[in-house]
Amino acid sequence: MQKGKPTENGSFLFKVDILVHAASESLAMEQLLRGLNGGQFSDFRIESGVQLGKKIEEELSETVTLTPIVTDSLEARIRSYIESNKLIRIVVNKGKGVKLDMPCRIINFDPEHELLTLYHVDEKKVYSILLNEVDDFIE
């Protein structure tokens, strides 16, 4: 649609700013929507003035970001195991008293998700474990 010119079906498009007096922004939004919905408009779009979720944004900005457990030396050590294809033993604590002692090779390491992909040489299976489940790397 073009501004100020009728379209094929006789519709017109206008851009307006509307000032609404109310006790709060949410009440003003409610009043505006009630007026727009009650009118005989085929469609409308509110492009600005809506600032919902301010408190959520404030809370999110104040939350403490978690520091990753991957240090440069740990990542370098894991990368060296991958590059050398070295056979190592990893002690894994799966929780609830379950511990695994795995002779394996590290296939891949995803530092963003702190995920290790291991090849268990005895079972000939591939496992994915979280880095925080690893108790020890034994060479």
The count of C-alpha atoms lying within 13 angstroms of the C-alpha of 82, restricted to the half-sphere facing its C-beta, is 13
Q: Are 22 and 32 in contact (CB under 8 A)?
A: no
| 113 or 67: which leads in pLDDT | 113
The pLDDT value given to residue 33: 87
Average pLDDT over residues 19-26: 86
Residue 72's pLDDT band, with cuts at 50, 70 and 90, is confident
- Mean pLDDT across 107-127: 92
The DSSP call for residue 139 is -
Cα dihedral 115/118/134/112 (nearest 10): -10
> Is a pLDDT exceeding 60 seen at residue 108?
yes
- Which is nearest to 134 in space by CA: 119, 113, 116? 116
Name the percent of the chain lying above pLDDT 70. 86
Domain boundaries, the chain: 1-64, 72-138
Its pTM surpasses 0.95: no
Is 47 strand, coil or helix?
Answer: coil
Q: How confident is the model at residue 67 (pLDDT cuts 50, 70, 90)?
A: low
The beta strand positions in 22-114, using DSSP E, are 88-95, 98-110
User: Residue 66 above 70 pLDDT?
Assistant: no
Choose the CATH number for 72-138 among 3.40.50.10300, 3.30.360.10, 3.80.10.10, 2.30.30.100.
2.30.30.100
